[in-house]
Amino acid sequence: MSTAAARAAAWLAQDPDPQTRAELQDLLDRAAAGDADAAAELEDRFDGRLAFGTAGLRGRLGAGSRRMNRVLVGQAAAGFAAYLREKAGPDATPTVVIGYDGRRNSQVFATDSAELLAGAGLRAILLPRLLPTPVLAFAVRHLDAAAGVMVTASHNPPDDNGYKVYLGGADAGSQIVAPADAEIAAHIQHVADEADLGALPRDHGYETAPESVIDAYVAATAAAGPAPAAAAGLRWAYTAMHGVGWETTARILDAAGYPRPTLVAAQIEPDGAFPTVSFPNPEEPGAMDLAFQTARDADAELVIANDPDADRLAVGIPDPTADGGWRRLSGNEVGLLLGWQAARRAAAAGSAAGASLACSLVSSPGLQAVAEHYGLDFHATLTGFKWISRAPGIVYGFEEAIGYLVNPDQVRDKDGISAAVAVLKMASDARGEGRTLADLLDEFAATFGAYASDQVALRVEDVAIIARIMASLRASAPTALGEAQVLGVDDYRDGFESIPPGDVLRLRLTGDARVLVRPSGTEPKLKAYLDVRGDSVADAAARLTALRAAVTSLLHSFT
């Protein structure tokens, strides 16, 4: 018997899921009969483990240690329980809140986790039904819990699921960062090495969170952006992208006083198969086509889309120059408008001193210009809201991947629902002045400068190529990119400007431009983020086009 087959047999012995047991037994039988494809599949599934890191776990559903399944999730829950018990001490009983979205197996994974956490002697509280990720992040703080677990793969492909971990207390409901990730991973590995999942104690008497927790999130989110008078009659369209956003969003709209939208009916109910989109991410080409069609039919003024677990937000506006007459605003465009709104609010309230705006390194530098204009502090962080949410004095944060933190007193994570309320308020205020979101973008450029951003991604088959490219750029960075000269290179590998170490390079260019290069954290891609500040929108667009061509040529020269 091969090593992979032996591991598979041991896995099979503790797997409580009939579906993955049958799947794995079929592979074992076929491999034993000489099927080379089945043997190769076993090798792939059991060659190591799905790594637990600062994003928790995320991967394809299926049997095996490199897939998402009940064995892997059970080991994660047991390891996390051991970590929390160790941190709390022998006399404490940590509380953990567990939430789940509408993906395949999300509820099963969440229930397994609640049973195992309770069986380990913790107070486990399961949210009462499938709900958005921001509700779980809110519940960690609202219930003064030691930790939270959200079962979701966010906007990943339909066959994926994931396990996201939050910490309470001093971490205020933020996602985990080092060294907690490595410490939790070590406990999980110990469970995997030493314990039979079937023998671990389970307690079916875990608690179910009361509806008052969801009521509190609804009230807090509605209060952060009550509808102005000009919201009356606002025509807009909304899609949940087959996710869990609509039920909670609808309650908040009513509480805050906004008109109900025209719904993208085919995408409004949770459906883990995501039948109308090939990739359930509003950023992906074609993902918002149904929403734009709905908006055209309804003569809408804007479109709002959440991703499947409603922690991200996309916004679309009419644009006669775009194909179909509508375009999706970039994450940077929305992020800068919301940052401007937050800064003005802080300044008007006299609370700018000590308050800060924050965004990831790869997001638009325009947010720093806004912060400086209004006398707020500014913090650039590594990518991910686990870092953004920890910025001192934060009143607002965003990253270009359509994530926004607009209500940090309630949720220390990106929140696509509270961001939707903030966008509706901003659009309604502009509407009261006879203006649109497009007009606000023009005003932003006139006030702070014309910031333009883009991305170039290089997808590879062998991830080792990415490491070689990063090493080459570190050893010999280009002296120019097109007509822009490279003024300097900042390497974040060992930490830089009070930012923890990260595999990121920043090339500072003439003409108030920059390029940041980093490996993707979730895909076999090398990503380059391009930012230009121009004298006008047209100037910035032209320079960005030239810079994109130069960066594309540079990256492809390595392959």
* pLDDT (0 to 100) of residue 1: 65
Domains 230-448 and 450-556 share a fold: no
Among 384, 388, 377, 387, which Cα is nearest to 401's?
384
Give the pLDDT of residue 475.
93
The amino acid at residue 174 is S
pLDDT given for residue 255 in this prediction = 98
The radius of gyration computed from the CA coordinates of the chain, to the nearest angstrom, equals: 24
User: What's phi and psi for 420, nearest 5 deg?
Assistant: -65, -40
Cα dihedral angle (396, 399, 400, 405), rounded to 10 degrees?
Answer: -40
Q: Which fold has domain 230-448?
A: Alpha-D-Glucose-1,6-Bisphosphate; Chain A, domain 3 (3.40.120)
Phi-psi region of 170 (alpha: psi -120 to 50; beta: other; left: phi over 0): alpha
pLDDT of residue 116: 98
pLDDT at 462: 87
Residues 497, 501: Cα–Cα separation, whole Å: 10
The beta-strand segments (E) located in 38-146 are 57-60, 95-100, 123-126
pLDDT along the chain (559 residues), means of 10: 88 95 96 94 94 89 97 97 95 96 98 98 98 98 98 94 96 94 96 92 97 98 97 98 98 98 98 95 95 98 98 97 95 98 95 94 97 97 94 97 96 98 98 98 97 94 91 94 95 86 94 94 86 95 96 91
Q: Give yes or no for a cis peptide into 179 (omega within 30° of 0).
A: yes
Full strand arrangement of the beta sheet holding 505-509: 450-459, 525-534, 513-519, 505-509, 484-491, 480-481
Residue-range domain boundaries for the chain: 1-47, 52-209, 230-448, 450-556
Catalytic site residue 154? yes
Instruction: Record the tokens describing residue 15, joined without a space.
Output: 């797997």
Residue 530 structure tokens: 């391009």
Residues 450-556: name the CATH superfamily. Alpha-D-phosphohexomutase, C-terminal domain (3.30.310.50)
Q: In what order do the strands lie in the sheet with 262-263?
A: 262-263, 236-239, 302-306, 313-318, 326-328
Architecture of domain 52-209: 3-Layer(aba) Sandwich (3.40)
Q: What is the pLDDT of residue 461?
A: 85
Give the active site residue among 154, 174, 330, 418.
Answer: 154
Sequence-separated (6 or more) residues with CB below 8 Å from residue 52: 76, 79, 181, 184, 185, 188
Is there a contact between 386 and 175 (Cβ–Cβ < 8 Å)? Answer: yes
Q: Which two tokens stand for residue 154?
A: 């966010």
Q: With beta carbons less than 8 A apart as the criterion, state whether 174 and 167 touch.
A: yes
User: Coil, strand or helix: which one is 389?
Assistant: coil
